[in-house]
Structure 1
Amino acid sequence: MLAILSALMAFASISTDLYVPALPTMAAALHANAGTVELTISGYLIGFSLGQLLWGPIGDRHGRRLPIAIGLVLFVVGSAGCAVSTSAGMLIGWRALQAVGACASVVLARAMVRDLYTGHRAAQMMSTLMTVMAIAPLLGPSLGGLILHVASWRAIFWTLVGVGLATLAALYALPETLPPERRNRVPILRAVAGYAELLRHRRVLGYAGAGGFFYGGLYAYIAGTPFAYITYHHVSPQLYGVLFGVGIVGIMLTNQFNSRLVVRLGCDRLMRAGTLGAAVAGILLALDARTGWGGLMGLVIPLFLFVSASGFIVANSIAGALGSFPERAGSVSALIGAIQYGTGITGSALVGIFADGTPWPMSRVIALMSIGSLLCALLLLPVTLVTPKEATLPTHSRGRSLSRSVSRRKSM
């Protein structure tokens, strides 16, 4: 089950990481400029962000496996369309379809975690999945470069077709986690309209904001570091790959720490600590970029600290939001995912808009986004008196525990 869920969540990154090394070759083969071919990434992110809003309610109404299977079929068709594209416009269109199919796997895999686990166990499982799926950005570009070395760029998309078909076959070994009696029978259109209701819920907004703002900074990091490292600081592409990989290792380590600490400290406390660490790193990064203090290491160290905070923010924000409306886990998962990728698009776009030939625009966006994440965690999520251990008790036992706590305080 862990392997299949990890594969489903990895579709978010493998669909892009695998073909990034082939972008220059694709531009030459399709007689398009670099900017046009890069729109295949933007088109994918937009389709991935908006598509989640549709799959969430569908998953709540019809279960998890069937929508995931339909999404995988769309992913396979979209990948095959990319492989046979003869123009950049065709490629962009097929990439959008590929994204709509891929996002079903990601959004409903998160909902399946909530179907199977609650509280800190859900956060533990989410951290484990994110540790496994972090391997995809490490291996994706290298594997894509290897395929490009022995075949054409089209072979990369045919490889994705094979990955989609293999995952579709493996899906039959995964049990349905949402039985009919627990499904939400609200019509799809009404369920989609219900996103406004979810956004009025303070806790959901707090979790979504904490994770969403952080994603905005994370995508600013992805968009800005190639220029900041390679062009501004004259780092070789090979060393850039090493520095990028070190950040991913940091993400994997903090996810493992989170899965161990969440039982004792709880999701909210760790998420607040993560947002505080990200904000401090973002401010330090902005100061270093503005003054030039520390040179290359003045960017590398705070950026490593910033991206490593992901292990304490992302899994806990998702688990916390899903726990607020367990009966609508699909819709909540979709909303969280759409906000994350929406702010990600915004963060990367702001880096391009304010580009001035220095790392300052990237650093400024990361600092502002990380401060926004911290404010959401502090201002929108009230501190609870329930400890992580008490949160795993049945409701009536938890009530007695809280009553005893109140009695002790009165006696003092």
Structure 2
Amino acid sequence: MHKHSPLLLSMVLAALAALAPFAIDTYLPAFHVMAQSLNGTNLQLQQSLTAYLLPYALMTLWHGPISDSIGRITTIRWGLGLFALASIGCAFASNVETLWFFRALQGISGGAGNVVARAMVRDLFEGVAAQRVMAQVQMLFGLAPAIAPMIGGLLLGIHWQAIFIFLFLYASVTLFSAHKLLPETVPVEKRQPLSATRVFSNYRQLFADMEFVKLVVTVGANFSGFFLYVLAAPVFLIDHLGLNEHQFGYMFIPTVCGMVLGSYLARQTAGKFSTYKIIRFAYCWMAAAIMLNIFICWQLPSSPFWNILPIALYNVGMALTTPILSIAALDRLPKLRGTASSGQAFVQMVLSTVSAGLLIPLIWFSPLGLAFGMAGYCLLAILCVSKTKVWKTAQ
């Protein structure tokens, strides 16, 4: 059916989706060094995450409709091309304000790969095959948060600017691979006219579907339970656990291994067990991991092993649910998959932006504060998913 194998397509789609975590995680080890170099504070560097995430969240509302209108591949070209140029701007920023500006440009363009990749999975594959490929993409995508900080730590040995040169090269190579290997999945005759009125009309239709809303909030809340630790990593790992900027892999390797394991289990269980049984098992697992996390933070002295273990266990359950929930959300409006993918990414990034700009500074005072943050997001996810068909219906 396809010119290239599903594995090769999955790898390219995963590389597109992984642009976002690379843009966030690669420079985390450099926060303290960059703050000194740019005459800023750690809080100002933390706000560079917000400068990236807020435009990212807003622009994700447009990447999908744009790809429904001009095609998936053209959207990728424009998005990754602008991201590459913005990365050069970040590399040569001379102060915090300039860094914020170019991080915002990265945010505007960086979501194109993630949104289009999700939509293309559902364009190219059906049913159980789509669920398996989505899990495979997620499994490869899940490696990015583990690899990125380690790459950042190594490049920091050269200079913090090398981190953004790396992001420029990553975007350029991924853009070339997508251009050469991915098919255009939205032929001209199926494209939707692009206008603000039509886009707003489509989003009204999309967000009026409460099943869709509950599914995407669930996915976003699941991810945010882990993403809290990603955003708080400079404080959590260095200040609380006593690690240094070259030891970020101590958290990211085990937590991403948990994510990869969960994605592998999602791929293996697709079509073999009913989705509602998988979902219920996953949330029992996540709840147990959170209770363990709170107990460890409350009763034991801080240590890398014990404080990171429950985060890795949580990620197994989180990754197990994601393909099922994502496919169910995309199938709510089959003719507007690009828009639906944008809506899902938007909700996830809004939660991440709230975490970065408002929640993290309130709870990163101790590991226990972060543990309660994870518990709050998981509770939100359970409240939403328990009202959906994937929870109630044997499929």
Establish whether residue 292 from structure 1 lines up as the match of residue 299 from structure 2: yes
1:172 to 169, 174, 179: 179
What is the Cα deviation at residue 229 of structure 1? 5.4
2:375 to 363, 367, 371: 367
Establish whether residue 10 from structure 1 lines up as the match of residue 35 from structure 2: no
Q: Which runs of 5+ in 2 are unaligned?
A: 1-8
What is the Cα deviation at residue 292 of structure 1? 1.4
- Residue 352 of structure 1 is matched in structure 2 by 361
Superposed CA deviations along residues 125-174 of structure 1, whole A, max 9, x for unmatched, are 11111111222222222222322323x32232222222222222222222
What is the Cα deviation at residue 256 of structure 1? 0.6
- Cα distance in 1 for partners of 2:280, 2:198 equals 34
Aligned pairs, how many? 384
Alignment of 1:13-412 (within 5 A): 13-150=21-158, 152-173=159-180, 174-185=182-193, 187-224=195-232, 227-228=235-236, 230-232=238-240, 234=242, 241-289=249-297, 291-292=298-299, 296=303, 299-348=307-356, 349-355=358-364, 357-381=365-389, 387=395
Relative to structure 2, which stretch is displaced further, 255-264 or 42-51? 42-51
The answer to whether the 8 A contact 2:59-2:111 is kept is yes
What is the Cα deviation at residue 332 of structure 1? 0.8
The answer to whether the 8 A contact 2:363-2:373 is kept is no
- Cα distance in 2 for partners of 1:308, 1:171 equals 29
Shift of the 168–293 alpha-carbon distance from structure 1 to 2, 3 Å rule, reads closer
Q: What TM-score, normalized to structure 2?
A: 0.89
The answer to whether the 8 A contact 1:14-1:140 is kept is yes
The answer to whether the 8 A contact 2:29-2:234 is kept is no
- Cα distance in 2 for partners of 1:299, 1:330 equals 38
What is the Cα deviation at residue 108 of structure 1? 0.6
- 3-state SS of 1:263 partner: coil
- Cα distance in 1 for partners of 2:233, 2:107 equals 25
The answer to whether the 8 A contact 1:215-1:343 is kept is no
What is the Cα deviation at residue 233 of structure 1? 5.0
- Cα distance in 2 for partners of 1:68, 1:239 equals 33
Q: Which runs of 5+ in 1 are unaligned?
A: 388-412
Instruction: Give 1:165's aligned amino acid.
Output: S
Q: What TM-score, normalized to structure 1?
A: 0.85
What is the Cα deviation at residue 72 of structure 1? 1.2
Relative to structure 2, which stretch is displaced further, 365-374 or 157-166? 157-166
- Residue 395 of structure 1 is matched in structure 2 by none
Superposed CA deviations along residues 246-277 of structure 1, whole A, max 9, x for unmatched, are 11101101101100101112444423432332
Instruction: Give 1:201's aligned amino acid.
Output: D
Instruction: Give 2:128's aligned amino acid.
Output: H
Larger Rg: 1
- 3-state SS of 2:327 partner: helix
The answer to whether the 8 A contact 2:26-2:151 is kept is yes
- Cα distance in 2 for partners of 1:92, 1:15 equals 13
What is the Cα deviation at residue 208 of structure 1? 0.8
- Cα distance in 1 for partners of 2:145, 2:174 equals 18
Shift of the 283–226 alpha-carbon distance from structure 1 to 2, 3 Å rule, reads farther
- Cα distance in 1 for partners of 2:355, 2:227 equals 6
